[in-house]
């Protein structure tokens, strides 16, 4: 059966409002369908809907179900179909868009299960009988031949859509009736719109901006806009800040993202988060061949523990020892461990142990030590203090381990920005720590010699060097330079202004080197050394003084080692020689050592007195036995 097509009635626009913007009635009739939506600003916001022949299926895919209809006098760009079968606003004409994000990618499903690719999402600006309408979140589907508005998307914006007796009405919750259109002969609701002039500017502006961006050697947009607004040059058109990724700029000047200077989260109790780092190797190594320092820092109270290692492979055993120690002391469990991606932390046995114990792992991104900033900053603070302690009293570099232990003891009893009016030691133990036992590292200490270790006329004191406090006893830890031994004693008298004379001979030894020690750089990798003039001269003087003190300490270290070597050689030379004595069974044997040359010559004639009757073999000798 066929019927004659009716002519499309003209569009009627009526404005009935106090401001002539409250109510807009649009009677749009055409042989193609579409959907309409308004925004909260009084403009009509259009959303896309699709209809294609077939049954509607409730799926998660975006559906496009729309029947084809012909247009007579109006072009396809002027027709927008209002359709309840379309799940999103869509258009196939790029000129409609005022803003378009082409990085957005999606797909829409047709009624015949075919798919169309969505190449972008943006906002569309329309002009209906002189009134500007804005449509947001519109899909750009290049293969789509019609413009569609989604009834469902209109309702999500709070609009009410009423289709009854061949009329479609759209109501705004505050503005009232905003759209009124009649059904066409092929049972579709349409709205006619003109392409807004600003819609062409999007593509044109992108071309102009990109052109001048390339002409200026990929200068950033702020620079181009500044040249135009401040009239610094002639002939440059107005540049709009149109967002578009420039691949060439990324290849030439992409930089790393900034690292937040302040953490967004802090632990709320002990052992909730532990920061750890291993740095080294340190040169020179200690007398016990230690080369690495392993640190653990509690995020809640910033208390720090250190362990000296010979090899990196010892990290796992030291972590188990640390875990047992702190958990027994507090009665709590370690919940999370944050570290870098070093092999000492990423071993299979380490990961299996943490999984078994229920310890969550937080590993930094590759080449991003800033994510483990607490441990890295603690390393820098510790390294600086060790260097100060050794340089101040010109102590040999081989004592860096003792300086590190004493530095941690001081840091745990010093204020920190992470805590308010408290020290890490107080937050850990709940008691204010005492610092009455503090002495200058490397100062002279006179140690009392017990009666059991001296005779009556020997001196009662021994001159030593202060190295810290004992971890096992309530006593000081001291070094005897003469005997090269560590002494633990509580009977000590300090002379903090005196310095031990480590020796003054020409020599050289390796300086203290920390391979993991690097200055914190800014986002572009600069170390921040932009000072000049007097500040630069002052820094050079300070550096020269530090180098001179370092050389003196190096000579002292060489002298101490040379004295230790020479003293051991002297002891070996003073040992008496061993006296060789003949065995007892050879006491009656005459060697002829005391004979003169004449007597030795006479011995040669004794051979003439031998007889041939002497037995030669064993059998002959047995026969002679009588």
Active site members = 83
Distance CA(145)–CA(618), nearest Å, equals 129
**Phi, psi angle pair for 112, to nearest 5°:** -95, 20
The span from the CA of 340 to the CA of 370, in Å, is 10
Query: What are 203's two structure tokens?
Result: 């593509």
Residues 6+ apart with CB under 8 A from 523: 255, 256, 258, 259
Comparing CA positions, the residue from 49, 28, 23, 47 lying closest to residue 36 is 47
Nearest alpha-carbon partner for 518 in 323, 316, 383: 383
Q: For residues 224 and 183, give the distance between their C-alpha atoms in angstroms, rounded to a whole number.
A: 51
Q: Determine the 3-state secondary structure of 476 from DSSP.
A: strand
Q: Residue 87: enclosing H or E segment and its boundaries?
A: none
CB 32 within 8 A of CB 190: yes
Nearest to 175 by CA among 294, 16, 385: 16
Which helix or strand (DSSP H or E) is residue 352 part of? helix 348-357
The rounded distance, in Å, linking the Cα atoms of 461 and 339 is 47
DSSP state of 376: H
Location of structure tokens 């799940």: 87
């Amino acid at each position: 059966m066929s019927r004659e097509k009716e002519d499309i009635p003209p569009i009627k626009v009526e404005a009935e409002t106090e401001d002539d913007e409250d109510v807009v009635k649009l009677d749009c009739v055409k042989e193609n369908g579409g959907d309409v939506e308004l925004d909260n600003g009084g403009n009509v916001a259009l959303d896309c809907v699709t209809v294609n022949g077939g049954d509607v299926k409730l799926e998660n895919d975006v559906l496009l179900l729309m029947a084809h209809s012909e247009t007579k006098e109006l072009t396809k760009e002027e027709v927008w179909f209002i359709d309840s079968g379309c799940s999103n606003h869509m258009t196939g004409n790029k000129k409609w868009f005022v803003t378009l994000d082409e990085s957005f990618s999606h797909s829409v499903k047709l009624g015949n299960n075919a798919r169309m690719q969505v190449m972008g999402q943006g906002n569309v600006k329309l002009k209906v009988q002189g009134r500007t309408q804005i449509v947001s979140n519109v899909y750009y589907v290049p293969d789509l031949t019609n413009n569609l508005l989604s009834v469902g998307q209109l309702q999500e914006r709070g609009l009410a859509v009423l289709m009854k007796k061949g009329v479609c009405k759209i109501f705004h919750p505050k503005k009232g009736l905003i759209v009124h259109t009649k059904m066409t002969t092929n049972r579709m609701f349409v709205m006619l719109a003109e392409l807004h002039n600003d819609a062409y500017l999007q593509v044109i502006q992108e071309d102009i901006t990109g052109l001048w961006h390339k002409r200026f050697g990929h200068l950033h947009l702020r620079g181009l806009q500044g040249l135009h607004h401040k009239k610094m040059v002639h002939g440059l058109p107005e540049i709009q800040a149109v967002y578009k990724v420039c691949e060439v700029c990324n290849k030439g000047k992409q930089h790393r993202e900034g690292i937040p200077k302040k953490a967004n989260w802090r632990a709320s109790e002990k052992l909730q988060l532990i920061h750890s780092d291993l740095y080294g190797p340190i040169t020179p190594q200690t007398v016990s061949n230690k080369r690495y320092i392993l640190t653990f820092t509690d995020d809640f109270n910033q208390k720090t523990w250190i362990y000296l290692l010979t090899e990196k492979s010892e990290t796992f055993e030291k972590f188990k020892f640390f875990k047992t120690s702190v958990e027994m002391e507090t009665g709590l469990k370690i919940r999370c461990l944050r570290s870098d991606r070093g092999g000492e932390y990423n071993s299979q046995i380490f990961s299996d142990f943490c999984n078994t114990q229920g310890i969550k792992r937080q590993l930094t991104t590759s080449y991003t030590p800033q994510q483990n900033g607490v441990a890295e900053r603690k390393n820098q603070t510790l390294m600086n203090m060790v260097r100060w302690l050794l340089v101040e009293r010109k102590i040999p570099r081989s004592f860096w381990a003792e300086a590190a232990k004493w530095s941690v003891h001081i840091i745990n009893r010093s204020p920190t920005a992470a805590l308010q009016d408290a020290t890490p030691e107080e937050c850990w133990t709940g008691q204010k720590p005492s610092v009455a036992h503090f002495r200058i590292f490397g100062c002279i200490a006179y140690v009392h010699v017990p009666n059991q270790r001296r005779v009556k006329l020997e001196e009662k004191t021994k001159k030593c060097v202060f190295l810290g406090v004992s971890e096992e006893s309530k006593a000081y830890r001291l070094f005897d330079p003469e005997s090269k031994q560590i002494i633990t004693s509580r009977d000590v008298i300090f002379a903090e202004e005196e310095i031990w004379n480590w020796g003054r001979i020409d020599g050289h030894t390796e300086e203290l080197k920390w391979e993991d020690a690097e200055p914190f750089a800014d986002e572009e990798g600069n170390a921040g050394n932009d000072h000049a003039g007097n500040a630069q001269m002052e820094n050079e003087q300070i550096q020269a003084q530090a180098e001179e003190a370092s050389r003196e300490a190096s000579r002292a270290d060489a002298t101490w080692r040379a004295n230790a070597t020479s003293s051991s050689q002297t002891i070996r030379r003073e040992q008496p020689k061993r006296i060789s004595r003949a065995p007892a069974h050879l006491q009656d044997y005459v060697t002829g050592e005391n004979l003169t040359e004449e007597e030795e010559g006479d011995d040669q004639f004794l051979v003439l007195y031998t007889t041939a009757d002497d037995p030669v073999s064993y059998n002959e000798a047995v026969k002679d036995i009588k």
